Chain A
Amino acid sequence: EAGVTQSPTHLIKTRGQQATLRCSPISGHTSVYWYQQALGLGLQFLLWYDEGEERNRGNFPPRFSGRQFPNYSSELNVNALELEDSALYLCASSLGAGQETQYFGPGTRLLVL
């Protein structure tokens, strides 16, 4: 069974640009989560989507946004990039409907210059 996949693996942008990160959950999973892992720091919760709806949001500015598509894949958009947005962005998925175990993808490493 394929795990959570993310693309691209690496992304280099300059300040002020926009970045789009993509995630495909494990087949059958309806919930998708996004986390930011800055260098040397723990994982910070960004967003949770389930059945196409944003269910919860972490303490991040509105320029971090996303969506979930009918096939349950998800996009994370980061507008007006800042240097401190450089981090590993991890996507996780779970079965939804009360199944809490989150399985992580390999991440997208975003570098903002």
Chain B
Amino acid sequence: QQPVQSPQAVILREGEDAVINCSSSKALYSVHWYRQKHGEAPVFLMILLKGGEQKGHEKISASFNEKKQQSSLYLTASQLSYSGTYFCGTEGRTGRRALTFGSGTRLQVQP
């Protein structure tokens, strides 16, 4: 079952923060976050494994609440380079490797 991402689209000014949510109706083993710019391949951001951990990379971080089967991606002090479509990919059962992706959140950062 496809995870649900929200919001579908968001427009920010440089320096503003954003949160993108990813919810699944099934138990999750891992959540993967990617950013895709128009006409380019998805770029890996981070992976969160079962265990409720939080990860961060510079001004982008994410959390994974396995009890709620939810993950959130936090973008702080957004930069123009953050623009793109963010996808969460979920893996429901270890060993199967088939990521089920949400429909994406389109993020546009304006000067």
| Size bin of chain A's contact surface | 20 to 34
For residue B34, which residue of chain A has the nearest CB? A104
Quick one: closest B residue to A31, CB to CB? B97
Interface size class of B (residues with CB under 8 A): 20 to 34
B60 at the interface (CB under 8 A from A): no
At the interface, yes or no: B61 with Cβ under 8 Å from chain A? no
Assess the B101–A100 pair: CB atoms within 8 A: no
Q: A42-B104, A43-B101 are contacts. A102–B32 as well, Cβ < 8 Å?
A: yes
> Which residues of B66-85 have CB atoms within 8 Å of chain A's CB atoms?
none
Determine whether A107 belongs to the interface, using a CB cutoff of 8 Å to chain B: yes
> Closest CB-CB distance, B13 to chain A, in whole Å?
27
User: Is residue B47 within 8 Å, beta carbon to beta carbon, of the partner chain?
Assistant: yes
B44's partner among A42, A43, A48, A103 (CB-CB below 8 A) is: A103
Residues of A within 8 A of B89 (CB): 43, 102
Q: Which residues of B contact A58 (CB under 8 A)?
A: 98
**List of B residues within 8 angstroms of A87 by Cβ:** none
Instruction: Kindly state whether residue A64 has any CB partner on chain B within 8 Å.
Output: no
Q: Mark A95-113, 1 if CB is under 8 A from B, else 0.
A: 0000011111111000000
A14 CB within 8 Å of chain B: no
Residue from the list A4, A102, A105, A106 in contact with B99, Cβ < 8 A: A102
Query: Is there contact, CB below 8 Å, between B101 and A42?
Result: yes
Q: Which 3 A-B pairs have the closest CB atoms?
A: A104-B41, A43-B101, A42-B101
- A residues near B (Cβ < 8 Å) are 4, 31, 33, 35, 41-45, 48, 55-56, 58, 90, 94, 100-107
Could you name 30 residue pairs across A and B whose Cβ atoms are closer than 8 Å?
A: A33-B97, A42-B2, A42-B102, A42-B104, A43-B42, A43-B87, A43-B101, A45-B100, A48-B97, A55-B97, A56-B96, A56-B97, A56-B98, A58-B98, A90-B41, A94-B97, A100-B30, A100-B32, A100-B47, A100-B49, A100-B97, A101-B44, A101-B47, A102-B32, A102-B44, A102-B89, A103-B44, A104-B34, A104-B42, A107-B41
